Amino acid sequence: MKAYAWANGRIDFGRTVPKDALPIASGPAEPLRKHINATARHSHDGKTLLVPGIPESGGGDAAVDALLTYCREIKKRMDFHARNFSLHSKHFVHTWIKVKDSLPDADLVVLVCTPKASEPVWLGYLDGEVWRYIDASPIERGGIKVEGWSDLPLPMEVF
């Protein structure tokens, strides 16, 4: 399934992207529709989905920037879904990523794992090269090191 946008920001779905539309994302129909539905602007008619930022952009570069930002958001959600859900289940499968293998995007709030701490799992983010708790205090001190991280679960409306 493919999600695509028209110049006015309207989002549609189909097997192919029409000539005058721009692609947003592709993937399995159910999660794609759920992620789009959870993040798109809903028009006054309650049915039409819109790319956030395009209708009020006035067109041009601002509309392109809004579409690119939205495409990145949907890609992150679809990547997360592919990593953390089985194809035949709606149950979250928790996946830890070792910091030596990959780091999260800068300033993205994630679950952090510090196995040597008395409370080993907390919310945190990577600020440049410094891991910080959600309150901005540094995590790595006194022998405590972040060894893994994980995306946060999706909100309930995605299920």
79 with 107, same domain: the answer is: no
Q: Which of 136, 139, 106, 141 is nearest to 121 (CA)?
A: 139
Q: Encode pLDDT of 143-155 as tens digits.
A: 889 999 988 776 6
- Number of structural domains (the chain) is 2
Q: Encode pLDDT of 64-110 as tens digits.
A: 999 999 999 898 888 877 766 654 455 555 678 899 988 988 878 88
pTM of the model: 0.56
105 with 70, same domain: the answer is: no
First-to-last CA distance in the chain? 18
103 with 130, same domain: the answer is: yes
**Structural domain of 75:** 2-84
Q: Which of 60, 69, 66, 94 is nearest to 80 (CA)?
A: 94
7 with 80, same domain: the answer is: yes
71 with 141, same domain: the answer is: no
Q: Which residues of 88-97 are buried (b: 16+ CB within 10 A; e: fewer)?
A: eeeeeeeeeb
The two structure tokens encoding residue 13: 């779905």
